[in-house]
Amino acid sequence: MCINTIFNIGKIKMQKLFETYAAVYKQGFMPIFVKDDWDTGMLLDACRKAGVKAIEYTLRRQDAHEVIPSLPASCPDMKILVGSVLDSERIIKQLHRNNPQLMTFGQLAGCGVHGFISMFEFSSETISKYSNTHLLVPCAYTPNEAFRMLRDGAHIIKIVEDLSLVRKARAAPSHGFCPFFFTGGMTQARIPEAIDAGAVCIASGFDLMLKGLPKDISSDQVGEIILGHIAAVNTARRKCYPELMAKIDAGAPDWIDFAPHYHFFTNINGV
């Protein structure tokens, strides 16, 4: 294979990766399929009706190993990120007997998913292997962990519940280096506080979003709830990041250059 062909293949892969990053970032809020009693088909239908471009389907959900392989084909307009992943084939192998829904990075990549999210860190080796093809959203519990994984090639850093950590990692000495994806108790009312603290993306599980609602709720109604969360994120981001959001709202191809943090992409065509 000639050098030009290899270069072009690499450029196409990077463009596809950026499309996933852009889908998650522009949407701002991502619904999470967690372990709950809601019907998977109804929730997916709600996401389609809401025009959702990216979802997180977690390995906590007991049907994950049955549903995930078909999602890229059945939801071609959505980017499929898999959550609750574990960065250890050895641990997965031992846990698999009681958790048959668990899948390895390699198995998930083979299904055609677009990215991986975890409540744990990713090793430097895993980041190196997947950072040019899949969106990587590992979790950090200190600013130093966030910096290490972003430096190694992770794209967005997940923070769970601790807004003080977001504020600490966005403080002046950090130069605002990190794009944060915040989860944990994110009701629609709490979204502005998280964005003001420094998060740029928010996610919440359907268990929280639909808490207390009747089981016969329609996919149209769920779709409206999703849209309400997306609107809350983008309203808050327009207040905190007006220049960036003006570019996103206008469909400007250079929007990423106005992000208030480091990003992985250079010389990329805007999406």
- Mean pLDDT on 179-190: 95
Taking CA atoms, 234 is separated from 190, 221, 224, in Å, by 13, 20, 15
**What pLDDT is recorded for position 169?**
86
**What pLDDT is recorded for position 255?**
95
- pLDDT tens string 165-182: 999 888 888 888 999 999
Q: Which helix (H) or strand (E) holds 228?
A: helix 219-240
Res 268 pLDDT > 70: no
Between 204 and 271, where is the model more confident?
204
Nearest-angstrom CA–CA distance, 171 and 181: 17
Nearest-angstrom CA–CA distance, 169 and 65: 35
**What pLDDT is recorded for position 13?**
84
Nearest-angstrom CA–CA distance, 137 and 140: 10
**What pLDDT is recorded for position 8?**
46
**What pLDDT is recorded for position 267?**
67
Opening angle at CA 261, ends 135 and 32, nearest 5:
40
User: What domains can be seen in the chain, in order of their start residue?
Assistant: 3-258 (3.20.20.70)
Res 210 pLDDT > 90: yes
Name the residue with tokens 């983008």: 234
**What pLDDT is recorded for position 270?**
60
- pLDDT tens string 225-251: 999 999 999 999 999 999 999 999 999
Range with the largest mean pLDDT of 8-17, 131-140, 160-169: 131-140
Nearest-angstrom CA–CA distance, 260 and 249: 16
**What pLDDT is recorded for position 95?**
96
pLDDT band (50, 70, 90) for residue 2: very low
Give the closest residue to 101 by CA, choosing from 67, 138, 145.
67
- pLDDT tens string 81-125: 999 999 999 999 999 999 999 999 999 999 999 999 999 999 999
Half-sphere exposure (Cβ direction) of 271: Cα atoms closer than 13 Å:
17
Contact present, 165 and 141 (Cβ < 8 Å):
yes
**What pLDDT is recorded for position 271?**
63
Handedness of CA 78, 99, 122, 127 (dihedral sign): negative
- pLDDT tens string 4-26: 433 344 677 889 999 999 999 99
Phi, psi of 115, rounded to the nearest 5 degrees: -175, 175
Mean pLDDT of the chain, nearest integer: 93
Return the bridge partners of 105, or none.
none
**What pLDDT is recorded for position 6?**
37
Query: 218: which 2 tokens?
Result: 């329609």
**What pLDDT is recorded for position 269?**
61
Taking CA atoms, 257 is separated from 131, 262, 263, in Å, by 20, 9, 9
- Mean pLDDT on 57-80: 96
Return the bridge partners of 30, or none.
203
Handedness of CA 189, 157, 27, 262 (dihedral sign): positive
